Amino acid sequence: MRRKTLVIIVALIAVAFIAGLWLGERTGASPSSAVSPAGGVTAASDPSDAAELPPGAIRIAPERQRLIGVRVGVVEKKPFVHTLRVLGRVAADETKVYRLTASVDGWINRSSDNSVGTLVRKGDVLATFYGPQFLDAQQAFIYALDAAEKLKTGQRLELSRSDIPLQAALDQRSLQRQIDQLRNLGMDDSQIEELGKTRQPTQDVRVVSPVTGFILTRDVSPGQRFSRGDELFRVADLSRVWILADLFENEAPYFKPGVEAEVRLPAIGRTFRAVTSRVLPVFDAATRTLKVRLETSNTDFALRPDMFADVELPLSLESALTVPSDAVLRTGRRATIFVERTEGVFEPREVQTGWTLGGRVEIRDGLAAGEKIALSGVFLIDSESRLQAVAEGVYGESATDPVCGTEVDTARARAAGLTSEHLGTTYYFDSPECKERFDKDPSEFIKDAAPEPAAPADGANRGAGR
């Protein structure tokens, strides 16, 4: 009994299956859409709808737009206001950095307690040293000073009255030479003046700060021997400092000489006004950026070398047609935007782009104000558009550009005049630049490989051809 029941059930299932096939043939029903890899996006549900669409266009229902994150917006032409923010580093003004070097061989007698980073005043003693050459130079200075004073007091009785003016000039020149000699050896003016008063040679020559500033480097210790040319101290006047800002090449043109920017120290909540220097930006090969110099006042020494700061430059550009960067699909040298022709129908359109700044791209050609475009989800739209175009035979045959290496639709390349004949073979190009390079020297691009013949496009090799 059970076996008879099972046979009846199987027979009923078979009859239902055959009836379904017969009914499908009578009604012509067939699957009308294919699920693409693009996150569930489908082509038009009705084949007649797909036939009415322009080449490359795709229809996406509103619910599927929400599913894949497609947003649509109207293109506007208006002034672009943006604040350009870059990272900056504080540096000492190189024209106000003083290097105190030894002019003679000698030894350090004493050194002050001032370490690196200490604020010192002009004339502060940083260290004292002994140099054998100073003894003879000091004696010569004292002798010249005594001779000049004796002439003034009339103690040079061996000279006649007519010889006194000439001798006075000679004594003055001799005294100046000795003063210059002491300066060249490293004695400051205050100690030379003190030596002129005491007439007592000293073995402690002072190293004094030439300016009010901060010690950047210190290389002295008591008893240390040094040689002529050794750097003992480096002092920087930080009343005015530089801000070195790292910029990309597309940002550098906005930092023109004389342009004001704001320098912020977030840690302490301070803001400074800085002016772009007239010095051309320096290219840093390590970071692949341009270093632009800004100058700012630093009277309270809040900015110290190697501190990081935020540089903000307010920009106000002329009216331009701009779109979000996510709305532009870049494939090699091409930039594509999907324009919504009617509700839910998106058509790919090649555009010419300009500057890219603040997450927006300038559109110079190919798009008009008031048109609606896809602002997001363009990659998924493009994937479905490619699959549908291949299925409809829009592209026909494809070939590889021998110069740029991109996949080219032969029909479009032929219509645009982007073909060249060489040794009986036709080559197709993606752009006029690629064709021009090939025509100059074809052997440069085909010597290592035989030319690739045109081949019918399919879903596998059309992925990056548009």
> What is the pLDDT at residue 148?
80
Interatomic CA distance for residues 379 and 391, integer angstroms? 19
Closest C-alpha among 85, 94, 105, 187 to residue 140: 187
Greatest Cα-to-Cα distance within the chain, rounded to the nearest angstrom? 162
User: In whole angstroms, how far apart are CA 279 and each of 162, 251, 288, 292, 297?
Assistant: 59, 16, 19, 8, 18
> What is the pLDDT at residue 408?
78
> What is the pLDDT at residue 205?
92
> What is the pLDDT at residue 211?
92
Going across the sheet that includes 106-111, the strands are: 205-208, 125-130, 106-111, 225-226
Closest C-alpha among 83, 82, 68, 79 to residue 375: 68
Interatomic CA distance for residues 297 and 303, integer angstroms? 9
- Kindly calculate the radius of gyration of the chain based on its CA atoms and give it in whole angstroms: 42
> What is the pLDDT at residue 309?
92
User: In whole angstroms, how far apart are CA 452 and each of 218, 407, 461?
Assistant: 69, 11, 14
Measured CA angle at 41 (ends 35, 43), to 5 deg = 70
Residues pairing with 289 in the sheet: 284
| Domains contained in the chain, CATH given | 94-236 (2.40.50.100), 397-456 (no CATH)
Its pTM stands at 0.57
Terminal Cα-to-Cα distance of the chain (whole angstroms): 66
- Contact of 387 with 36, CB cutoff 8 Å: yes
**For residues 30-42, b (16+ Cβ closer than 10 Å) or e, as one string?**
eeeeeebebeebb
Burial of residue 157 (number of CB atoms within 10 Å: 0-12, 13-18, 19+): exposed
> What is the pLDDT at residue 389?
57
Neighbours of 111 (CB within 10 A): 20
Q: Kindly report the backbone phi and psi dihedral angles of residue 55, in degrees, each rounded to the nearest multiple of 5, phi listed first.
A: -55, 130
In the chain, which residues have pLDDT < 70?
A: 1-56, 153-164, 385-397, 447-466
For the chain, helix (H) and strand (E) counts, in that order, are: 10, 28
